[in-house]
C-alpha cells in the first residue's frame, strides 16, 4: 500500500472555540469515509507537535462517529 501527503483542510473542516484555559477544536471530515483516516493520523502527539510547546498529555481526542 502506498501513501501520499494530503493537506488536512482538503479532507476536513475545523471549528475552534475555547472554554476558560482550554481550546476546543472540532474536525469534521468532508466525506464520512475519511473519519477512520482522521482518527488514525490525528493522535495526541501529532496535535501537540502541530501547536508546539505542548505535551501530548495535555491533548484529549474524542471521536464522535455519529453526528
Tens of pLDDT, residue by residue over 1-20, are 456 788 888 999 999 999 88
Bridge partners (DSSP) of residue 24 are 17
- The answer as to whether 48 is a domain residue is yes
- The answer as to whether 46 is a domain residue is yes
CA 30 to chain CA mean position, Å: 13
CB 24 within 8 A of CB 16: yes
Tell me the C-alpha distance between 58 and 54, whole Å.
Answer: 7
- The answer as to whether 40 is a domain residue is yes
Q: Which domain holds residue 23?
A: 8-58
Count: domains in the chain: 1
- The answer as to whether 63 is a domain residue is no
Instruction: Please state the pTM of the whole predicted model.
Output: 0.73
Tens of pLDDT, residue by residue over 22-51, are 889 999 999 988 888 888 888 999 999 988
- The answer as to whether 2 is a domain residue is no
Amino acid at each position: 500500500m502506498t501513501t501520499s501527503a494530503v493537506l488536512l483542510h482538503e479532507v476536513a473542516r475545523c471549528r475552534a472555540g475555547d472554554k476558560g484555559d482550554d481550546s476546543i477544536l472540532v474536525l469534521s471530515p468532508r466525506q464520512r469515509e475519511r473519519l477512520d483516516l482522521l482518527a488514525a493520523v490525528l493522535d495526541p502527539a501529532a496535535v501537540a507537535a502541530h501547536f508546539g510547546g505542548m505535551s501530548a498529555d495535555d491533548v484529549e481526542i474524542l471521536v464522535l462517529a455519529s453526528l
